[in-house]
Amino acid sequence: MSKIIDIIVKDIRFPTSLDNLGSDSVHVDCDYSATYVEIFTDDKDLKGIGLTFTIGKGNDLCVACIKYFKPLFLNKNITEIEKNINSLWRSCTNHSQLRWIGPEKGVIQLSVAALFNGFWDLISKYYKKPLWKYIIDLKTEDLLNKLSFTYIDDAITIEEAFNIIEGKKNNIQFETQLIIKNGFPCYTTAVGWLGYSDEKMINLTKKYLSEGWTHFKIKVGLDIERDVHRCKIIREIIGKDNLLMIDANQVWSVKESIENINKLKEFDLYFVEEPTNPDDILGFKKIKNSVGGVKLATGEMCQNRIVFKQFLENKSLDFCQIDSCRLASLNEIIPIMLIASKLNIPIIAHAGGVGLCEYVQHLNIINKLIISNNDTYLSEYAESCSEHLINPAKIQNGNYITPTESGYSAIIKDESIYKFEFPNGDYWVSVSQ
């Protein structure tokens, strides 16, 4: 029986700020980064890989946090971890001392995400299945026992969750064949980072349009007149039949959000993402009630399942944007999906960064096959840093191609680790001299 013999965690940072990649109204100098966890077993051919996405400084804090968790898992065998993954998860999210710098938010949540993404990767590799396949093959009661419903059982009961999943499994063979054949639809953010010139934005939009993309998102928020200008350019290129979304990345106040969205809604926006502070549930509701039916999306900065519960029950959002690393892995992601399914609110996962597209391709499939009954299926895709991954997400005609390899997919190449590990990788040593 394979057991855990070591857990190594690394600070990997890519200098993406040099090309304005990821730039938005708040994050103007993103160095896309990963807290990167390697879980070693006594089987040299079996290793779990997990990560959480950050944008540079602070990545070291997540690394330090995971080192505190390491002793909880050494010498445990894989089936023991699989059986007790919910209680082990709670031992980290509610660590008697570390929870004081949480609880279940911030550094703690990001760190638990990296570690447990690694364990889910390890478990699915142990069974020689892609993660999505491992999850949908579980008996419903076994799956639910692995998840955390603490603090949210007033929004979704175990019985309700059971009935949702069992109801979906009636058509699972047919739906699985469809998702393998057709993939999962996505939109691109890559055309409209805020630091891009008009020329670059125009060229990228035309390129993606020619490749079959029909959904486009651009960043806004620093200058409303500039925002109007950029939206006009994109809408003219993509035409009236394709979809346009905008993302303000939390920069506006509630009053500014209302004013600016009303100025921009002439461009037939599919949704506006994060117009204001990501914790302002009541503020989002005020905006929704004041912008003439323009839909709102949020979630990439939501701290945990409890915040999502409030957003969903209060109908303060129209599209729920779960993030595979902001949330503490599948243990709380799937319960959020179940609440959204109960309330008939679509999941449109946040992705991009380092490894997020690789993770959400599994989450999208899980949601579609065994959870959601909503007709809206869409997810984000941004090609950032894919060149550093061994098996990056594959896209065809604006659709994620269903992954077939064992595990959770997000594995960074050894050569990229050697070059970009902070602060002693070859690149970071060279620029510090």
Tell me the domain boundaries of the chain.
Answer: 168-415
Do residues 375 and 357 touch, judged by C-beta distance below 8 A? no
By three-state DSSP, how is residue 158 classified?
helix
**pLDDT exceeds 90 at position 113:** yes
Helix ranges, 138-253 (H): 140-145, 158-169, 172-182, 198-210, 224-238
Question: Residue 385: what pLDDT?
Answer: 93
pLDDT tens for 151-178 read 999 999 999 999 999 999 998 999 999 9
For residue 324, give every residue at least 6 positions away whose Cβ sits within 8 Å of its Cβ, in sequence order, or none: 113, 117, 333, 349, 351, 355, 356, 359, 360, 363
Q: Which helix (H) or strand (E) holds 101?
A: none
Do residues 356 and 325 touch, judged by C-beta distance below 8 A? yes
pLDDT tens for 379-429 read 999 988 999 999 999 999 899 999 999 999 999 999 999 999 999 999 999
Question: Residue 413: what pLDDT?
Answer: 98
Question: Residue 21: what pLDDT?
Answer: 85
Nearest alpha carbon to residue 412 among 52, 115, 40: 52
Question: Residue 111: what pLDDT?
Answer: 98
**pLDDT exceeds 80 at position 290:** yes
Other C-beta atoms closer than 10 Å to the C-beta of 357 total: 29
Label residue 147 exposed, middle or buried (CB < 10 Å: 0-12, 13-18, 19+). Answer: buried
Nearest alpha carbon to residue 92 among 107, 112, 77: 112
Residues 90, 72: Cα–Cα separation, whole Å? 12
Question: Residue 143: what pLDDT?
Answer: 98
Do residues 209 and 243 touch, judged by C-beta distance below 8 A? no
Question: Residue 383: what pLDDT?
Answer: 85
What percent helix, strand, coil does the chain show, rounded to 5?
45, 15, 35
Residues 290, 179: Cα–Cα separation, whole Å? 38
What average pLDDT score do residues 216-241 get? 96
Residues 347, 57: Cα–Cα separation, whole Å? 30
Residues 247, 271: Cα–Cα separation, whole Å? 9
For residue 39, give every residue at least 6 positions away whose Cβ sits within 8 Å of its Cβ, in sequence order, or none: 4, 6, 7, 47, 48, 49, 50, 73, 118, 119, 122
pLDDT tens for 308-351 read 999 999 999 999 999 999 999 999 999 999 999 999 999 999 99
**pLDDT exceeds 90 at position 200:** yes
Question: Residue 24: what pLDDT?
Answer: 81
**pLDDT exceeds 80 at position 433:** no
> What's the mean pLDDT when you consider all of the chain?
96
For residue 317, give every residue at least 6 positions away whose Cβ sits within 8 Å of its Cβ, in sequence order, or none: 284, 296, 297, 298, 299, 311, 345
pLDDT tens for 29-86 read 999 999 999 999 999 999 999 999 999 999 999 999 999 999 999 999 999 999 999 9
* Strand bridging mode 395-396 / 378-381: unpaired
pLDDT tens for 18-45 read 988 888 888 889 999 999 999 999 999 9
Omega before 103 within 30 of 0, i.e. cis: yes
CA atoms within 13 A on the CB side of 193: 21
Do residues 349 and 364 touch, judged by C-beta distance below 8 A? yes
CA atoms within 13 A on the CB side of 273: 24
Q: What is the DSSP letter of 94?
A: T
Omega before 423 within 30 of 0, i.e. cis: yes
The percentage of residues in the chain with a pLDDT greater than 70, rounded to a whole number, is: 100
Question: Residue 23: what pLDDT?
Answer: 83
Q: Tokens at residue 2, please?
A: 């394979």
For the annotated catalytic residues, the residue numbers are 219, 350
The alpha carbon torsion through 171, 176, 182, 187 (nearest 10 deg) reads 90
Question: Residue 404: what pLDDT?
Answer: 96
Q: Tokens at residue 251, please?
A: 């920069």
The phi, psi pair for 272, rounded to 5°, reads: -115, 125
Residues 49, 120: Cα–Cα separation, whole Å? 9
Q: Is the pTM of this model over 0.95?
A: yes
The CATH number fitting domain 168-415, selected from 3.30.460.80, 3.30.360.10, 3.20.20.120, 3.40.50.300:
3.20.20.120
The type of residue at 12 is I
**pLDDT exceeds 80 at position 1:** no
C-alpha dist (Å) from residue 322 to 282, 337, 351: 19, 8, 9
